[in-house]
Chain A
């Protein structure tokens, strides 16, 4: 322990690549060949909208009708590729199959829901990088 000494590093006085000027640390370090401190700055990266890849319906019943209108002008800007249903009852199953087939056949640009209530919500899934 006696061999340890406190090093207050004033990086403003150093000229090492990548160091942020006027940044300093107060840490105990010994025995290292080199060190560098980088300041981490909070950033909000305002980027273009990402492609919408999926729509998730938590609930779907026979009062719910989904219509796809690829050519409608005021629609979601990017094509939908997949739709997931967590729940569908017997009355809606046939319609669900048709929707899935059409989803596969051509990219979706709009989703209409004829009716939805408090127990229906939609999750927009964006592509994840693996």
Chain B
């Protein structure tokens, strides 16, 4: 029920004869953009109106709703760790909004750069890539997007921290948000891989530790495995120094591992 848009009409009609009719209309209606389903978002507002064309539709992996004035669906974004499918909303007023659903892990915003053997320490978001794909299909120049998390209206910052291991190694990282911050969510995207494909020797084991406790472990042979999760709020809090440790063991140097930590918070 909480996801229903509610319109309460309290008018009482006087019946003039056997039956009197009162027309009911939604006071304002519901906006086409599903704000209550959206989580972390990137958006632009173009100066020019956008036409909902077949060419624009083809930029979508899956179209969920389309009308003369708007279209909404998912867009496929691929990086070397995998594929993600953020939702994208476009309307004729010029809005282009790429977003993950409120229930999806926030760390899906991480767009991994490089390849499985040579990851690069560059940070970009999958939401920006989704916006680029749609803007290209609409033949619109894309301006620098803005970001917003519809789950946390008070949040004003998103911090992405990245650590990659291009070879077998163990690294320790630290992060602490000051006490005058408000943390809304901490989320991570962790992967490990090895693609030697030579005499079946491409095995690997990658682990991620938070404050001394292993929170993710992936292993395999000649493949890539990843974990994307939100961290329970009890395990990641402000004014506490958190230690993260990432390790990769592998046979031959054909693989890599990495972790992206995403924090949504309010800074003073």
* A residues in contact (CB < 8 Å) with B: 1, 3-4, 16-18, 23, 25-43, 45-52, 56, 65, 67, 74-77, 110-118, 121-129
Q: Are B175 and A127 in contact (CB under 8 A)?
A: no
Known: A112-B23, A123-B7. A47 touches B32 (CB 8 A): yes
Set of chain B residues within 8 Å of A40, measured between Cβ atoms: 147-149, 152, 155-158, 264
Q: Mark B88-129, 1 if CB is under 8 A from A, else 0.
A: 010111010100010000000000000000000111110010
In the bound assembly, the distance between CA atoms of A76 and B23 in angstroms comes to 10
Known: A28-B176, A34-B122, A128-B37. A117 touches B12 (CB 8 A): yes
Q: Which residues of A contact B92 (CB under 8 A)?
A: 48
Residues in B neighbouring A34, C-beta threshold 8 A: 121-123, 161-162
Number of B residues with CB within 8 Å of any CB on chain A: 77
> Nearest Cβ in chain A — how far from B43, in angstroms?
6
Instruction: Tell me which residues from 243 to 265 in chain B have a Cβ below 8 Å from any Cβ of chain A.
Output: 264
User: Which residues from chain A contact B69 at a C-beta distance below 8 Å?
Assistant: 48
Which B residue's beta carbon lies closest to that of A65? B19
Contact B160 A128 (CB under 8 A): no
Q: Is the interface of A mostly helix, strand, loop or mixed?
A: loop
Known contacts A46-B31, A49-B32: does B156 contact A39 (CB below 8 Å)? yes
> Which listed segment binds A: B135-143, B166-174, B193-201?
B166-174
Smallest CB separation, B77 vs chain A (Å): 15
Instruction: Give, as a whole number of angstroms, the nearest-CB distance from A38 to chain B.
Output: 4
> Which among A25, A56, A110, A116 is the interface contact of B4 at CB below 8 angstroms?
A56
Closest A residue, CB atoms, query B64: A129
B23 touches A33 (CB 8 A): no
Determine if A36 and B3 form an interchain contact, defined as CB atoms under 8 angstroms apart. no
Pick 27 A–B contacts, CB within 8 A, sort by A: A1-B241, A27-B159, A27-B176, A28-B241, A29-B174, A32-B163, A33-B121, A33-B163, A33-B164, A40-B264, A41-B156, A42-B148, A43-B148, A47-B33, A48-B91, A52-B29, A65-B19, A75-B25, A76-B25, A114-B15, A121-B9, A123-B6, A123-B7, A124-B5, A124-B30, A125-B5, A129-B64
Give chain B interface residues in 6-29, CB to chain A under 8 Å. Answer: 6-13, 15, 19-26, 28-29
Contacts of B15 in A (CB 8 A): 114-115
Is there an interface contact between B173 and A128, defined as CB atoms closer than 8 Å?
A: no
Q: Tell whether A29 pairs with B175 under 8 Å between CB atoms, given A45-B97, A47-B32, A48-B69.
A: yes
